[in-house]
Structure 1
Amino acid sequence: MIICKRLLPILALVALLAGCIPTQRQLTMERDLEEMKRRLAASERALASQQSRRGDETSNRLEALSRRQAELQASLDALRLEQQALNGRLADLSQADNELRDELSLVRDDLGLKISAIEDQLSKPDAKKQNPSTAPVAESPEDLYRRAVAMIRSEKRYAEGRDLLQRFLQQQPQHSLSINASYWVGEAYYGEKKYENAILQFQDVIDKNSDHPKAAAAQLKQGITFQTLGDNQSAKAIFSKLVETFPLSAEAKEAKRRLAAM
């Protein structure tokens, strides 16, 4: 009994020390906690690295898209410049085509003048020649016509040329060049910017000579006159009618070009 009393302080100290010593379970939990902390830190580092890579990839993609957009814009600008150049060339070709058509018209008129002069000479085989030194040479209808057209086309003396042509039409209403003269009266009105008169004059040529080549020219210029006045609806109707009536003519080709541009 005395021994037990002596052992009590020792046993109490042992129990106290036993409470201060970690158990195996506590050690295991501490190791698990440290492992979790380590894995969490590793995950955070991996996530940060992944986000950095994704940020770099996104930045690279944005840069690539920007470069692609810049390339497409440059290509578009180049195409627009090419289109402008083509439009310029088409305009030049159209102008050249108009000039060629006018030249051909004048050549045709000139041939008509020569034929008329020959026919006039053949119809008067017995006419006596006047002495040029004593009698003035009267201007022939053909010369009058030629002079009037030159005033309108080359000299831009529209009113004077128109007056001569109207005199020609009064004196020679059945002449082979009367249709051409009527057309050039319309051109003179157009040159004077008397557009309503020009439209009516071209319509007179069309109504009275629907099968004549000058009817196609009158129809084209009538449509152009409406365009000049800003009446594109009427111009379209006239150009369409011209293409339908004279599909193989040079005027129809020009009408198609203008229709496509409207």
Structure 2
Amino acid sequence: MKTSSQAFKQTLSRAFCLSAAVICLGASNSAWALFSDDEARKAILDLRKSLATTQLELQGEIDKLKTENAELRGKLENLEKQGEDISSSQKTYYQDLDTRLGNFEPRTITIEGLSGTVQPGEKKAYDDALKAFQAGNLKKADEGFSAFAAKYPKSPYLPLALYWSGNSKYANKDYAGAISQLQSLIKRYPNHPRIPAAMVTLGNSQLESGNKAAAKKTFSEIIAKYPDTDAAKDAQQLMAATK
């Protein structure tokens, strides 16, 4: 069976022969007699048909290539996505592994400017107490922070434990306990970034316990030492209550 390409070549050759015969024989009546008008028209129609068939085949090939290209592009995008997922999964895995290892061996870290060694289970103890505070369970929070301070006296989390313990006592209306706790924090860590906020709670505790003079002194110290801070703004507003 002839292929479309072979048929096209045969028809083209036939048309070429027809044209050559007409040119060579000129306008001779005997030359025109060799090929009838029907044969010439048929050759032209066959040529057009072959061209149309070839164009359809070419278009089919082009469409097929486009489809294959789209499929390859899809596969490439899928591979890229898989690569991103694997990278993300590996990152999560190593972070989780790092966290797990941290639960079994001491680690040196820096918390709000204070560096120190964190023992296994130390961060969890702090986090548990903080969660209790955030949940409004003030008694449990205070007990948790107090236990933490006793067990980890050199922890870089200790200033935060003292700070939240003082706030827990204040929120639970244990003003004397809050004053003692916050004064201890301020004395031990005078340059800690939590000190301005701790002093505001200290002044409030002094004010609530009826010691307006002490509260006024604390608020004045905040305004003088930490101007242009939220703590200073709070102290300025609270000064009116000390009169």
Q: TM-score, normalised by structure 1?
A: 0.45
Structure with the bigger percentage of strand: 2
**Higher gyration radius (CA):** 1
**TM-score, normalising length: structure 2:** 0.48
Between Structure 1 and Structure 2, which shows a larger proportion of helix residues?
1
